[in-house]
Amino acid sequence: MKFLDLAKVYIRSGSGGGGCVSFRREKFVEFGGPDGGDGGRGGDVWAEAVDGLNTLIDFRYQQHFFAKNGQPGMGRQRSGKDGDDIVLRVPAGTEILDEDEETVIADLTEVGQRVLLAKGGNGGFGNLHFKSATNQAPRRANPGQEGVERTIWLRLKLIADVGLLGLPNAGKSTFLAATSNARPKIADYPFTTLHPNLGVVGVDNVEFVVADIPGLIEGAHEGRGLGDLFLGHVERCAVLLHLIDGTSEDVVEDYEIIIGELEAYGGDLADKPRVTVLNKIDALTDEEVAEKRAALEDAAGGPVMAMSGVARTGLLEVLRTLRARIDADRLRHRDAREEPQPWRP
């Protein structure tokens, strides 16, 4: 299944049915009178977060969603049928934006959440509604109310507990593959990852979700490389894991590039809890690891961990640190009946 995290959708609620002008005319009935029914109301347009979806790819092949119109009223005091509603089924974590792509209409973060996007028009009154002591034969009825037509944007922000950050080839996909059953593409050239990947990581009998996004480069907020559009997928994370390539000539510069992009992106992303890790230490000597780690600690103003995703060195310590940073209510306790295999570094 292809990944799509932004879609433009055109929606329209149903128009209400018109009221009916009708009079009762039956043989042997001396007095008739108005009996025109009301029109049915138009259908609404809803959006609902459902389980089992993690992409907006369905909205690439269908962009127009129109609810049914209400049926007009009929004689013999019969009201028209209401129009059927239409529901846009989206993944949990979907933001619904107005046409300007800035105004947030709703943010569906949990499965089962629903929001009304366009309300259907009311049905018109039939002439029976206007009958009174002074107007016993009304010959007018109301037309149905028009539906609402609007353009909206759907933007998916994956719901994960940990977000991976780093320059291209920093080892993010390798880390995800080494700690979960996810199988992202891994190669020795930049921008191997072209769309976000999710993996469920287990440690010490709890599980949490890790999101891997394409690498950032300097100037990503200006559109360089793949840009910073994918940073939206780590906005909901409880903690960020910043991986730095230990084989780089200047690890401090690599660190500052990512921090600069987070600050340029805006919001509270730069203020999120962050775990900084020097990766690929299997390709370094002990002296090089100590030197680069000390330089990073000076730049970050805090402790820096060291690990190797390929050699699986230090992975367990990193996972336990991430678990400690994640809110307790986000952790998913494993079912003891499943008897999962323990993760081994």
Domain closes at, from 135, 156, 177: 156
Residue 344 lies in a domain: no
DSSP conformation class of 53: -
pLDDT over threshold 50, residue 118 = yes
Tell me what pLDDT residue 228 has.
66
| Region 150-161 average pLDDT | 91
Tell me what pLDDT residue 329 has.
62
CA angle 52, 53, 56 (to 5 degrees): 170
Are residue 208 and residue 149 in the same domain, yes or no? Answer: no
Are residue 95 and residue 12 in the same domain, yes or no? Answer: yes
Are residue 168 and residue 253 in the same domain, yes or no? Answer: yes
Q: Contact 203/323 with Cβ under 8 angstroms?
A: yes
SS3 label, residue 47: strand
Number of domains forming the structure of the chain = 2
Are residue 103 and residue 55 in the same domain, yes or no? Answer: yes
CATH at 177: 3.40.50.300
Are residue 140 and residue 203 in the same domain, yes or no? Answer: no
Domain closes at, from 156, 182, 206: 156
CATH at 143: 2.70.210.12
Which residue range is the domain that position 109 belongs to? 6-156
Band of the pLDDT at 345, cuts 50, 70, 90?
very low
Query: Which residues are known binding-site members?
Result: 166-173, 191-195, 212-215, 279-282, 308-310
Give whichever of 6-15, 191-200, 243-252, 306-315 has the largest mean pLDDT. Answer: 6-15
Query: pTM of the full predicted structure?
Result: 0.79
Q: How far apart are CA 65 and CA 209, in angstroms?
A: 33
Interstrand relation of 33-34 and 23-24 (parallel, antiparallel or unpaired): antiparallel
Domain closes at, from 128, 156, 184: 156
The residues that bridge with 151 in the sheet, in sequence order, are: 10
Tell me what pLDDT residue 287 has.
92
Residue 227 lies in a domain: yes
| Region 24-53 average pLDDT | 90
Q: How far apart are CA 190 and CA 33, in angstroms?
A: 80
Residue 345 lies in a domain: no
Residue 295 lies in a domain: yes
Are residue 149 and residue 268 in the same domain, yes or no? Answer: no
Are residue 258 and residue 187 in the same domain, yes or no? Answer: yes
Are residue 190 and residue 277 in the same domain, yes or no? Answer: yes
* CB environment 139-169: b (16+ within 10 A), e (fewer): eebbbbbebbeeebbbbbbbbbbbbbbbbbb
Query: What average pLDDT does the structure give for the chain?
Result: 87
SS3 label, residue 91: strand
Tell me what pLDDT residue 5 has.
86
Are residue 142 and residue 266 in the same domain, yes or no? Answer: no
Residue 146 lies in a domain: yes
Are residue 268 and residue 135 in the same domain, yes or no? Answer: no
Amino acid of residue 174: T
Query: Which residues are known binding-site members for GTP?
Result: 166-173, 191-195, 212-215, 279-282, 308-310
- Candidates 76, 66, 70; CA nearest to 25 is 76
Are residue 202 and residue 326 in the same domain, yes or no? Answer: yes
Query: Which residues are known binding-site members for Mg(2+)?
Result: 173, 193
Residue 333 lies in a domain: yes
Band of the pLDDT at 9, cuts 50, 70, 90?
very high
Are residue 245 and residue 271 in the same domain, yes or no? Answer: yes
